[in-house]
Structure 1
Amino acid sequence: MCGIAAEITGGGAPVAVGRVKSMLAAIAHRGDPEHYGGMITPPGAAMGSNRLAIVGRESGVQPMADWAGTLWTVFNGEIYNHRELRGELEELGYGFRTASDTEVLVHGYRAWGAELPLHLDGMFAFVIYDATRRAFLAARDRFGVKPLYWAGDEDCLLFASEIKSFLPLGVTPEVFPPGHGMDEAGLWRYDERNACPLPAEEDALVTRFSDILDNAVRKRVQTDLPIGVIYSGGLDSAAILGLALRHHPNVMAITVGFPGAPDLAFAERSCRDLGVRQVTRILGYGELVGNMTAVVRQLETFEVIDVMDACVMAPAFEVARKLGIKVVLVGDASDELFAGYELFREHPDPVAMMRYRVMNLHRTDLQRVDRTSMAHTVEARVPFLDREVVDFAWQLPMEYKLRDGTEKWILRKAVSGIIPDYLAWRPKIRMPQGTGLLFQLIEYARRHRPELAEELLTRLGLDQPEAAYFLHAYLESGYPLPPARYRKLGWDFGSNGYFVFQS
């Protein structure tokens, strides 16, 4: 996990190193202090990294070069199949000097070129530069768990992990779309949903899903570092916690909430029953209100739901940092994949809604998770967005997701016996009710609504009175307005055109 920045010039022209340094300085929080600001300036490029050392902690220094010293990469994320890829590359004659997953990228690019992303199982955003050929490859993981932005033209391209990096340069970046790569020829989509044959018999189908989800969690706890689970006591985080306990000896649950909140009671009871170490952070109204504008700047969004969720969850990542935990698991994306929201019951085409919501996560929930965790220099991993889990859910009939009025039916069946039944079959309640937040932040934002042009609010579709408060904080942070809102009730794909229905 890192914060990365790079500049690549056309024709190998000199690069102003100070620009990349300023981009890194804006995202210093994304790396360990001892790994801040690593830079390299091969002809025609400048590349830098603020590294959070997790895999190959001693040897995985970035930017990293191949054996010839002419191919360089900066990389944010984790490659979960790096050991398997290392074996394939060694058979092809590539020698490794480190235990880092980053080194797989430089050798993998030599071996597979632009097809490299197709070999990767993980969350990633990277830029690779070949100083000999003046060629590059940038890519982002299938669902956008890791962020990447870019700006420029044929003469100069800029890449970085957050919008903040572009503000000192006076440049408005574009979102680098998930499941895409870019080289000198332009931007292309590499990701497609894979065929995932489903068992016809119901019990076999549940067993298959249980195995897939178990493997997704196993891959994400392959570390000697302690693991944290952001734990509400709800179904999704309980499933992740129960599976993590199978595969790692040092797992801690981190729970937040207001005094007397329903989630706290379920989380504390279940941690006692499961024998899990738990740290509970009690929230206070004044603390959350005082942090709201800072959270907007961290998130780089003005969406009310995301800001409220982040205000509540930021203290959990703060706890993880104070405990020295670098890796945490979260239960995000389960509701989108397995019809956890009420809107799936009401929508005329719930399958299309699922696919739209999943492919839009990189600009909503995943952006919130990334910014909130990395603001505290903590890496958040999302097992429900494992590629096999998504491929399974993509083809799973809706009758296995919504059954007899119960949402996420197959998930509940799959984890019954792994977690207590009072968790596996606990009815869903939304975060504001579960944590005890209720409407406190919304009411504050409504009372302190600033004066903004009604034309602007209308154009962005911000018809909630509290939305003006968050938009004002967003604009005060210097962020450019997006072409459209990213949280919508329907499935209008917006102007960028890269949300694609897959059948």
Structure 2
Amino acid sequence: MCGIGGIININNSKIDPNIIENIKDSLEHRGPDNSSVKYINESNCFVHTRLSIIDLNDRSNQPFQNEDKRYTLVFNGEIYNYKEIRKELEDLGVGFTTEGDTEVLLKGFITYGSNVLEKLRGQFAFAIYDSSEESLFLARDRIGIKPLYFSNHEDWFIFGSEIKAIEKSGVVPFSEDVESYISYLRHLCVPSNRTGNKNILKLEPGEYATFSLKEGLIRNKYWDPFSFEINNDIYEDEAIDEVERLLKESIDYRKVSDVEVGLFLSGGVDSSLIGKLMKENENSGLKGFNIDYEDHFEGYKGEVKEAKYASSFLNIELIEDKIKYSDFQDILNNYSFYQDDLIGDEVGIPLYFLGRNARSNGIKVVQVGEGADELFYGYEHWLRYIKLNKYIKPLTRSRSDFLNFSNHRMNLASNILFNRTSFGGGAIGFNLVEINKLISGGIPSDSELINFVDNKWDSYFASKDATLTKWMTLIDLNVRLPELLLMRMDKLVMQSAVEARVPFLDHKLVEYVLTIPENILFNKSTTKPLLKKIAGNHLPNEIVNRKKQGFRAPVGEWIKKDQDYFYESIKEFNSLVDLFNKKELDKVLQGNDYQQKWYLLNLSNWHLNRVAN
């Protein structure tokens, strides 16, 4: 895991060294072990900050060039199967001077071009410049575990692991993207290739792009979860065996490291199963990390008791921490800067402290359980949604705008009845009716971004093979996982220079799960039926069937401690952007939905932070 950046002056003008230093400084939290710049020529420069995990020798520092210096690479992430790819390349006569995955990636690209992406098993974002062709190649991994942002603004093309690398360069100004702000209110993140800054875009998961002065920017999709079809010839026993095999293989791959690998342990089935499989055939110890709050709140009891039970069963060391309100106060002013892109989920706060605690205990790498709920149906509200669809059927064949409600339950029922998007993703901040009232002048009717999931819904359900259960996984693989859950993990944990590895989202495992028939993967009576059958071979019933409560933060309790202070930021934001209808905004601020207040506060602070800088 590292920080990468690069900048090209389109007019071939010399780059001011201060610009390069600003980019490098903005990324050093991601890679404190080494930071380097490489001027490919006076108008083209790559930047890299390194978190040393594989081949700790300086010979693997980046930017990395091949022998004749035609190709220059900066790379963030890990290629877990690099040894197999290296063997394949060596059989073709390719030589190597290092022992890590960086050189394998570059030599693989030189040999296979963009087809190397089909061979990579890992989490990655990288850029390669070809000095002979004067072209830039950018790529992001299939699931979107690693981010990659870019801007083609006036005389510059610039890219980076974080938005702040581009913003801090000083050559790309901030310009609020109001459509992105509205989309954030709906999804708690920004879908597609957009960000909160109109001048900065991102590569989507499973996408690569080329840029040259001759051809400009060309984007290509090399992987799409919607492309996988259900295989009705798969039987349950076969599915259990193959998922278990792929999960074990994925966890073993993610143990590949020249530094110690830890575990974020909630005590639930996902993280406990990872811990159990990590410990198989291993004599060395394993450190697990858990976090709790001094302020307990309605609907959340904490997970320390469960984590202690799991750690005892797994025979691993559990390192605990507690967050106080004063910790929240300390992080709040910088939180929007840390989260980088618009990420509405408050769970980034405890993740920040988990990362800090791991690093202070000598851990640079952790395995985490993200993705299991989305692949294996781990949410109770998903089950309730499917049950509701058994009793309520659409009254119309096509989408109708008849009867819309602000109330979330009534809104859901009417969306089903009138063939609208009734499941827009696992994270919903405000529904479209609420947003239409809140936004001054209402939602723009022609916005592809705001209607991103609705257009996906219409396209997907045009197929006779479409199912609601598969849609729920697919749309979360398309939006919530890559742009919310994985970005909060990347941005907040990396503030402490800790790499999070996600074994449930190994693309081989994801691809196989997407082909499993619904009757094997889904059961309306219980969450994660398939995964629990696998976990039952490794874990006690107390862990396998523990009731899920989800990872949360007491933002409502914290906001209540000084409401006027927090609301001031929201009002200041609205005075600058004039996004919200003041009457409707006051209703939200005077109401009891503190989650929605947090989403507004987070958006406001994100914007104000950029205006101030």
TM-score normalised by the shorter chain: which range applies?
0.7 to 0.9
Contact 2:36 2:63 in 1 (8 A): no
Contact 2:265 2:290 in 1 (8 A): yes
Contact 1:218 1:247 in 2 (8 A): no
User: How far is 1:199 from its partner?
Assistant: 6.2
Alignment correspondent of 2:221: 189
Alignment correspondent of 1:120: 120
Contact 1:5 1:20 in 2 (8 A): no
Residue 240 of structure 1 pairs with residue 274 of structure 2 = yes
Residue 338 of structure 1 pairs with residue 365 of structure 2 = no
Residue 329 of structure 1 pairs with residue 328 of structure 2 = no
Match of 1:440 among 533, 540, 557: 557
Residue 256 of structure 1 pairs with residue 291 of structure 2 = yes
Contact 1:196 1:392 in 2 (8 A): no
- CA distance, structure 2, for counterparts of residue 458 and residue 380 of structure 1: 40
Contact 1:21 1:37 in 2 (8 A): no
Deviations 1:48-104 (A, max 9, x none): 100111111102110011121221100000001110110111112110000121101
User: How far is 1:377 from its partner?
Assistant: 0.5
Residue identity in the other structure for 2:478 = M
Match of 2:357 among 309, 319, 328: 319
Change over 3 Å in CA distance of 1:313–1:153 after alignment to 2:
closer
Taking the TM superposition and a 5 Å limit, the aligned residue runs for 1:30-429 are 30-32=30-32, 34-42=33-41, 44-58=43-57, 59-152=59-152, 156-168=156-168, 169=170, 170-171=172-173, 172-184=199-211, 185=215, 186-193=218-225, 200-246=234-280, 248=282, 249-258=284-293, 261-304=301-344, 306=345, 308-345=346-383, 346=385, 348=389, 349-360=468-479, 361-429=481-549
Aligned with 2:496: secondary structure?
A: coil
- CA distance, structure 2, for counterparts of residue 112 and residue 5 of structure 1: 24
Contact 1:300 1:479 in 2 (8 A): no
C-alpha RMSD over aligned residues: 2.6
Aligned with 2:567: secondary structure?
A: coil
- CA distance, structure 2, for counterparts of residue 13 and residue 182 of structure 1: 24
Contact 1:198 1:205 in 2 (8 A): no
- CA distance, structure 2, for counterparts of residue 340 and residue 404 of structure 1: 11
User: How far is 1:444 from its partner?
Assistant: 4.9
Alignment correspondent of 2:192: none
Contact 2:269 2:535 in 1 (8 A): no
Change over 3 Å in CA distance of 1:42–1:103 after alignment to 2:
farther
- CA distance, structure 1, for counterparts of residue 281 and residue 302 of structure 2: 29
Residue 449 of structure 1 pairs with residue 487 of structure 2 = no
- CA distance, structure 2, for counterparts of residue 75 and residue 301 of structure 1: 20
Change over 3 Å in CA distance of 1:94–1:137 after alignment to 2:
same
- CA distance, structure 2, for counterparts of residue 232 and residue 380 of structure 1: 15
User: How far is 1:196 from its partner?
Assistant: 8.4
- CA distance, structure 2, for counterparts of residue 188 and residue 50 of structure 1: 27
User: How far is 1:407 from its partner?
Assistant: 0.8
User: How far is 1:156 from its partner?
Assistant: 3.5
Contact 2:267 2:306 in 1 (8 A): yes
Provide the TM-score with structure 2 as the length reference. 0.72
Contact 2:522 2:528 in 1 (8 A): yes
- CA distance, structure 2, for counterparts of residue 367 and residue 144 of structure 1: 9
Residue identity in the other structure for 2:34 = H
Deviations 1:151-180 (A, max 9, x none): 116964211010111223234311121111
Aligned with 1:422: secondary structure?
A: helix
Contact 1:17 1:41 in 2 (8 A): no
User: How far is 1:368 from its partner?
Assistant: 0.2
User: How far is 1:14 from its partner?
Assistant: 4.2
Deviations 1:435-487 (A, max 9, x none): 7x48424545855212143851469x99623333212211122079xxxxxxx
Give the structure with higher Rg (CA). Answer: 2
Alignment correspondent of 1:474: 606
Aligned with 1:147: secondary structure?
A: coil
- CA distance, structure 1, for counterparts of residue 18 and residue 579 of structure 2: 35
- CA distance, structure 1, for counterparts of residue 476 and residue 134 of structure 2: 38
Change over 3 Å in CA distance of 1:196–1:379 after alignment to 2:
farther
Residue identity in the other structure for 1:53 = S
Farther off after superposition, 92-101 or 200-209: 200-209
User: How far is 1:195 from its partner?
Assistant: 6.8
- CA distance, structure 2, for counterparts of residue 422 and residue 366 of structure 1: 28
Contact 2:6 2:159 in 1 (8 A): yes
- CA distance, structure 1, for counterparts of residue 129 and residue 106 of structure 2: 9
User: How far is 1:339 from its partner?
Assistant: 1.7
Contact 1:138 1:183 in 2 (8 A): yes
Change over 3 Å in CA distance of 1:199–1:314 after alignment to 2:
farther
User: How far is 1:262 from its partner?
Assistant: 4.3
Residue identity in the other structure for 1:188 = N
User: How far is 1:17 from its partner?
Assistant: 4.0
Change over 3 Å in CA distance of 1:457–1:414 after alignment to 2:
farther
Contact 2:55 2:258 in 1 (8 A): no
Residue identity in the other structure for 2:4 = I
